[in-house]
Amino acid sequence: MTNATAAVPSDADLLKAAKSSARRVQPAHNGNAGNGTGIALIPGLEHVPEGLTRMVITPPLAEKWVERNGKNRSRSDSTIYAYARDMRNKRWDYTGDPISFDLHGNLINGQHRLLACIIAETPFESAVVTGLPPEAQKAMDQGRPRLLPDILVLDGIDHRSPNRLAATARVILQIKLMGEGQAAVGYRSRRNTRAELLEIVGRHPLLKDSIVLVEKTKGPPASLLAALHYIGSIILEMPEKADAFIRVFQSGVPAYDNCAAHSLREFLLRHQAKSTRLLPEVIFKSTIRAWNAFTQNEPRTKWHAIRDQSVSIHKLDLSKL
């Protein structure tokens, strides 16, 4: 079992674990798992009264429960990996959302959490409900999910635009993952959890100042510029350079001959005027390259829609993100 100080597992690590688990855990039931005996058939619940209970679910128990996964929705690997990271890194909280079994003992809700528990090799606490009618499965997961901006408001985060704060936190985490090589499988292919993003917001309370500063910029997304301004001014301790970088995108005035920030701004605006779509990954990586060149006053006049080249921010200590 991994302790709380262990490094965040990459999706490649989790994928390897998932494939190993998939060979061990296969659904043993398709349809009714029994003839009305229900709870007596479910390992770990033989002596628990039917209804709702709260308990700690261990990986071996999760394996046995997944075997009772008959008719259920398709599995989402990205969801499983995301849950597993939170469990392994002690970010998984008890919510009261139950693992659910029908009156025949079939698992009808909770497969992603159980598979994540197996992969993370980490127990988790959950509500468990048994004896539900099979048709209850059709009514599950129909509510609107609580998104990160909603959580920020509930947490009393003092910021006028929780949506912008959430978007900028995602960019900070993406920069960190790309620097660690965890996003090499594709831009935004890794699902981030609310717990991971809330951790970013909590660690960087001054992020909101950069979000306000980048208003009225043109070219790259404001969330990307806010993240780069924050990293430049606070993490890299280059506030004047960070401010100058943002001013170029606000004013359209180059900071030096063949200014990298200015040429990128004009390149992106030309594409916007022609309604030609650039992939978000291209804009993301190009803007980081513009920042790197800008900090050294390096000239840059041409930009290309290159997706596959890796990119990182010069001299950035990723542990500070």
pLDDT for the residue 111: 92
Q: How many residues does the chain have?
A: 321
Residues 103, 33 contacting (CB under 8 angstroms)? no
What is the predicted pLDDT for the residue at 178? 83
- CA gap 255, 36 in Å, rounded: 75
Q: Does pTM surpass 0.75?
A: no
pLDDT the model gives residue 197: 87
Q: What is the pLDDT along the chain (321 residues), one digit of tens a residue?
A: 333 334 445 555 555 555 555 444 444 444 444 434 566 678 989 888 889 999 999 999 999 999 998 776 778 888 898 899 999 999 999 999 999 999 989 999 999 999 999 999 999 999 999 999 988 887 776 555 666 666 666 666 655 678 888 899 999 998 988 887 765 434 455 678 888 888 898 899 999 999 999 989 999 999 999 999 999 999 999 999 999 999 999 999 999 999 999 999 999 999 989 878 888 888 999 999 999 999 999 999 988 766 666 789 999 999 999
Give burial (CB, 10 Å; 0-12/13-18/19+) of 256.
middle
Q: From residue 177, how far is each of 92, 197, 263 by CA, in Å? A: 20, 12, 27
Element (H, E) at 57: strand 52-57
The residue to which tokens 């991971």 are assigned: 196
Q: Which amino acid is at 106?
A: N
Beta bridge partners of 127: 54
Distance separating alpha carbons of residues 92 and 314, to the nearest angstrom: 33
Per-residue confidence (pLDDT) for residue 13, from 0 to 100: 58
- 99-102 and 107-109 as β-strands: parallel, antiparallel, unpaired? antiparallel
Domain boundaries, the chain: 11-139, 148-320
One-letter amino acid of 292 = N
Rounded distance between C-alpha atoms, residue 63 and residue 303, angstroms: 51
63 CA to centre of own chain: 25
Sign of the torsion angle spanned by Cα atoms 251, 255, 257, 261: negative
Residue 213: the pLDDT is: 94
